[in-house]
Structure 1
Amino acid sequence: MGSVVVSYKIFPADITVDFDELKKKIEGCLPKFASVYGFGVEPIAFGLNALIIQIKIPEDKSGVLDEVEKRLKGIDEISQVQPGMVRRISR
């Protein structure tokens, strides 16, 4: 069975948010069936950056995206979670 990779753009609550610490919190809050597939940083404006995160989830579970987004939005350092591209992978 394949997996799905979902990209999210994570907007920090403040310009001073440490992305390394935020990455650790994100990895720690994910459900057992989800894992981090990759991270990136996208400049927004005036020194503000967004964290781009790719999360790998099984394609055969229902309600997975809602659960992942709910957990991400529960992190205090995150002001907004914007879903992006969804793609299927075979590994």
Structure 2
Amino acid sequence: MGEVAATIKIMPVSVETDLEALKDNLIAALPEGAEYGTHKEEPIAFGLKAIIMVVIVGDLEGGTESVEQAFAAVEGVESVMVTEVGRPV
């Protein structure tokens, strides 16, 4: 089985959300078989920032689905969207 790097955009519920704590909670919520790669913050509008996180998962069909569900269940997450999937560098 190969691996793919999934870039996932996580939107917090509000501007007041502590992004550092949210990032730590997202990493802790990663399901078995998924591995944290890297992250950055991306300004959206009016002080709101998204977390852009790269997660390494297996290249099976539906490989990011368990990660998306785990991230969506984390307190402080408004939405989760996979923006890119490709081979890890």
* 1:21-60 to 2 correspondences below 5 Å: 21-59=21-59
Query: What amino acid does structure 2 have at the position aligned with 1:26?
Result: L
Any conservation in 2 of the 1:37–1:56 contact (CA below 8 Å)?
A: yes
Any conservation in 2 of the 1:2–1:89 contact (CA below 8 Å)?
A: no
CA distance in 2, matches of 1:5, 1:89: 5
* 1:11-90 to 2 correspondences below 5 Å: 11-59=11-59, 61-89=60-88
Report % sequence identity: 30
TM-score by length of 2: 0.90
Q: Which runs of 4+ in 1 moved over 2 A?
A: 61-64
Unpaired stretches in structure 2, ≥5 consecutive residues? none
TM-score by length of 1: 0.89
Give the CA deviation at 1:31. Answer: 1.1
Aligned residue pairs total 89
Give the CA deviation at 1:62. Answer: 4.0
Query: What amino acid does structure 1 have at the position aligned with 2:50?
Result: A
